[in-house]
Structure 1
Amino acid sequence: MEERLIKEKMEAYKDIYSQLYSALKWKADKRTLMLIAGMYVSTSKEFHLKRYLDIADYIKDNVGAFSYLKSTQRFSIAATLDTTTDDPKTNFHRFIAIYEKLIENGFSRNAYSYISASTLLKVKPIRIDEIIQKTRDIYKGMKRHHFFLTNAGDYPLASILAQCEKNSEEIVSNVEEYYQVLQEKGFSAGNDLQFLSHILALNSEYRPDEKAEHCLEIKELLDNSKQKTKRVYYPYIGMLSFLENRESEINSLLMINEDLNRDKLFKWNKEINFMMSVLLLMSAMTAIGDAARTGLSISIETLIQAQQAAMTASITAATVAASSSNGNT
């Protein structure tokens, strides 16, 4: 059943990407289109190109002339609104209100603040001020521990962590404990390790040393399969560590990854293919009830949201860098 579901997810992913590419190949980066296709597949939201493009156009028509949402970022935000809300256009205005509250609380006007706002869409309106303040406190706590590592790219995970039940000091302390234990296990220090620490801190069911062992096991399984574990893959190792039958599920992951790497549509984006392989595998696990089977104290859906935030942040960074190198502002 798992293999059939994975194949269905892959077919849906390729079909949605093909539709997006035909419509937007001159307007959006391929990596962004890959992420958008993955968002629809992972949430099992039926994709309708006309409806999706209508939402993207609505965003463009309802922001200021110099907004980031006039650019390609509107396409990923349109997908977020379409896959996570019942009324995307109405919720777009709520999304903008959340974004402005983040700015009022000291966050910068940039692509990452928009991503952070999108992760807060499901927060009840009565709690939004509290959660934004908590997001700010968590971000400041991260900055205290890792001043040179922590930057705007950490906004999205801070906002997801802020929705956990623990208080901000406990969350920051837990993230830092994971960071130190993982470094002792041989993971390289840096922003990718901090991202991995954020992912693991979403779950309080395991001790940090136990979860670090799971991550090391995943890393060794990947290394032994000749899938080199680059630092940028650290957050995705964290995702995989929450799955129960890690060895067999790594085999499924490699099958997905090899398929994407062979496909002429995707073969030039191997790093994104690995990230998408994890997303497709995780969403298949959700479909067969793996969240209940593993007894996680958080849902696989939350992990997928965290992964999408991580992917969106990394793809946004790559797109901005490419634009800068081409002389764009």
Structure 2
Amino acid sequence: MKEQTVNESISLYKDTYSELYSALKWKVDKHSLMLIAAMYVTNAKEFNLKRFIDIADYIKDHVGMFSYLKSTQRFTIAATLDTTSEDPKESFHQFISIYDKLIENGFTRNAFSYIAAGTLLKVEPNRIDEIVQKTHEVYKGMRKNHFFLTNPGDYPLATILAQRELDSDIIVRNVEDYYQTLHKKGFYLGNDLQFLSHILAIETSHRPEEKADQCLMIRDMLKKANLKTKSAYYPYIGMLSFLENTIGEFESLVAINEDLNKDKLFKWNKDVNFMMSVLFLMNQFSAVGEAARTGLNISIETLIQAQQAAMTASMTAAAVASSNSSSSS
């Protein structure tokens, strides 16, 4: 698929979502369909409904009766496989192998472990064991620092952090430095702040004080634009801090957000629309590779992967909470 402008990406996103919604509205919640549509657009993968459903059915047919992948999560995993590999069915077995290794190394069997496994699909096979072990070390370090905050929802970002060329104890220390510095600047303590700390710790060339000031500036800009700045938005404030010219790009962010909020397909999903706005804005820079123009030592692709992992985890958590609420009522 050719490189697209933001407007072209948004148009394609709407078309893909409409096709997904028409086919799966009784099987998959709207937020998950929005995420799936965005995954195809940001990965520049042409969407084919028949192929997508075939992959989802293949997943359902090749897991145990009580697997989370018997549920609607198989559709987001199908999108992950379809957008990251040439042979999704073959990649599925690699994906399950990675998932099993995570479980063997102490992760629990839940939806977040599957998301974490998906973030490792592009890791060289000969490094999987090393990264999986390091992931668990990073997670244990986070849990030691914040026992009551750290939970399986943190698995996906732990796997991405573990891929950095740093020792696990240094990664954990960086996350904690960001957490404490951001709190001193006025960000509320909690899991959303920890998530923001994870995002910022992916890149190591900036000082926590510098990035915290930048995040504070972005939060103030969002307030002035009458956009919500609740703690659930913290990870996306972190994403915006990686832009070379945040102020210059801010108008584009507002325009994308307004476009989605006005569309009848999405107007009742303003929180997800904001996440998508940041995702589409960041995706403009995905062709930069190692992002030399921004001075980062990580690729924009890694950031987008981290953002998709964060979005998938938050939507999965919301779906689980909704399901638990329904079953108890």
Is TM (by shorter chain) over 0.5? yes
After superposition, where does 1:233-248 map in structure 2 within 5 Å? 233-248=233-248
Q: Does 1:82 align with 2:82?
A: yes
Number of aligned residue pairs: 326
1:167 is matched with 167
1:109 is matched with 109
Distance 1:245 1:130 in 2: 36
1:15 is matched with 15
Distance 1:6 1:32 in 2: 21
1:290 deviates by 9.3
Does the Cα contact within 8 Å between 2:289 and 2:299 map onto a contact in 1?
no
Q: Does 1:202 align with 2:202?
A: yes
Does the Cα contact within 8 Å between 2:157 and 2:198 map onto a contact in 1?
yes
Does the Cα contact within 8 Å between 2:141 and 2:172 map onto a contact in 1?
yes
Q: Deviations over 1:234-277 (max 9, x none)?
A: 00000000001111211111111111111110011110010011
Q: Deviations over 1:189-240 (max 9, x none)?
A: 0000000000000001111111111111111110111112010000000000
Distance 1:178 1:268 in 2: 33
Q: Does 1:49 align with 2:67?
A: no
TM-score by length of 2: 0.97
Give the 4+ runs in structure 1 shifted more than 6 A. Answer: none
1:295 deviates by 2.3
1:324 deviates by 1.4
Distance 1:327 1:5 in 2: 44
Distance 1:74 1:298 in 2: 30
1:148 deviates by 0.4
**Residue identity in the other structure for 1:275:** M
Does the Cα contact within 8 Å between 1:9 and 1:284 map onto a contact in 2?
no
After superposition, where does 1:1-329 map in structure 2 within 5 Å? 5-287=5-287, 291-327=291-327
Distance 1:288 1:123 in 2: 20
Distance 1:126 1:107 in 2: 21
1:140 deviates by 0.3
Does the Cα contact within 8 Å between 1:41 and 1:283 map onto a contact in 2?
no
Distance 1:278 1:57 in 2: 31
1:291 deviates by 2.5
1:292 deviates by 3.0
**Residue identity in the other structure for 2:99:** Y
1:173 deviates by 0.3
Q: Secondary structure at the match of 1:258?
A: helix
Distance 2:107 2:288 in 1: 39
**Residue identity in the other structure for 1:153:** G
**Residue identity in the other structure for 1:154:** D
1:285 deviates by 2.6
Does the Cα contact within 8 Å between 1:219 and 1:229 map onto a contact in 2?
yes
- Larger RCO of the pair (alpha carbons < 8 Å, separation 6+): 1
Does the Cα contact within 8 Å between 1:260 and 1:267 map onto a contact in 2?
yes
Distance 1:255 1:291 in 2: 24
Aligned Cα RMSD in Å?
A: 1.4
| Residues 125/54 of structure 1: CA separation in 2 closer, same or farther (3 Å cut) | same
Does the Cα contact within 8 Å between 2:176 and 2:197 map onto a contact in 1?
yes
Q: Secondary structure at the match of 2:284?
A: helix
**Residue identity in the other structure for 2:11:** E
1:68 deviates by 0.4
Distance 2:123 2:290 in 1: 25
**Residue identity in the other structure for 2:224:** N
1:287 deviates by 4.3
Distance 1:36 1:95 in 2: 18
1:155 deviates by 0.4
| Residues 184/262 of structure 1: CA separation in 2 closer, same or farther (3 Å cut) | same
Structure 1 unpaired stretches of 5+ = none
Does the Cα contact within 8 Å between 1:218 and 1:240 map onto a contact in 2?
yes
1:315 deviates by 0.3
Q: Secondary structure at the match of 1:296?
A: coil
**Residue identity in the other structure for 2:252:** S
Distance 2:28 2:81 in 1: 18
Q: Deviations over 1:7-41 (max 9, x none)?
A: 01100110110111011100000000000011111
Distance 1:228 1:314 in 2: 17
